[in-house]
């Protein structure tokens, strides 16, 4: 028995001849009441990365999620969580997405 759609179980995107697991930023905030002064800066960084990814590899990222927890993201600048695929994605798909993510981050950090 399968629960949910394949898009949720194994979110992926075709880039050239490869299938990459989709990525998703999870951004912690101060919405839960704990101090997190830099969460907007983390969000801005995530948006910058995602915009570049959309330019270079449309569909590589799923929409950004902002949560009311800090996830220790308050401890460093641009400390973000990037989820890689889901339980239905293969390791190969995840590694393919890392190849493209590294190219995106390289462009953003120039």
The residue extents of the domains of the chain are: 6-108
Provide the token pair at 56. Answer: 């270079």
pLDDT tens, position by position, 69-88? 999 999 988 899 999 999 99
Burial environment of residue 106 by CB neighbours within 10 A (0 to 12, 13 to 18, 19 or more)? exposed
pLDDT at residue 7 in the model:
59
pLDDT at residue 9 in the model:
84
Band of pLDDT at residue 21, cut at 50, 70 and 90: very high
pLDDT at residue 5 in the model:
54
Number of Cβ within 10 Å of residue 49's Cβ equals 23
Mean of the pLDDT values across residues 25-31?
95
For residue 18, give the nearest of 102, 90, 105 by alpha carbon. Answer: 90
- For the chain, the average pLDDT equals 92
CA distance 24 to 101: 11
- The percentage of the chain sitting over the pLDDT mark of 90, rounded to a whole number, equals 84
With a cut of 70, say whether residue 61 has pLDDT above it: yes
Provide the token pair at 24. Answer: 């998703």
């Amino acid at each position: 028995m399968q629960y949910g759609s394949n898009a949720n179980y194994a979110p992926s995107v075709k880039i050239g001849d490869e299938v990459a697991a989709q990525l998703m930023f999870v951004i912690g905030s101060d919405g839960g009441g704990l101090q997190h002064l830099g969460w907007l800066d983390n969000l801005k960084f995530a948006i910058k990365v995602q915009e570049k990814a959309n330019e270079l590899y449309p569909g590589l990222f799923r929409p950004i999620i902002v949560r009311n927890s800090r996830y220790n993201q308050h401890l460093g600048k641009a400390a973000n969580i990037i989820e890689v695929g889901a339980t239905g994605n293969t390791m190969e798909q995840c590694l393919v997405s890392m190849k493209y993510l590294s190219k995106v981050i390289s462009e953003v950090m120039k």
